[in-house]
Amino acid sequence: MSATEQVLIEKIRQLPPQRLAEVEDFVDFLGTRDDDQRLTQAAAKR
C-alpha cells in the first residue's frame, strides 16, 4: 500500500459514520464518471 493510500485510509477512519456514506457515494461517482469517459472514448474511436 502506498503512502498516499495509507494517509487516505487514516483520514477516512477518523470520519463520523454519516461522512463515510458521503465518501462512499463520491468514490462511486468517480468510478462511474471514469467508466463513462472510457465508453465515450471507445465510441469515438469507432
pLDDT of residue 43: 78
* Domain coordinates in residue numbering, the chain: 3-44
Distance between CA atoms of residues 1 and 45, nearest Å: 35
* Predicted pLDDT at 33: 87
Q: Check whether 42 has a pLDDT greater than 90.
A: no
Q: Is 33 helix (H, G, I), strand (E, B) or coil?
A: helix
pLDDT tens, residue by residue, 9-39:
999 999 999 999 999 999 999 999 877 678 7
Residue 40's alpha-carbon distances to 32, 33, 37, 44, 46, in angstroms, are 12, 11, 5, 6, 10
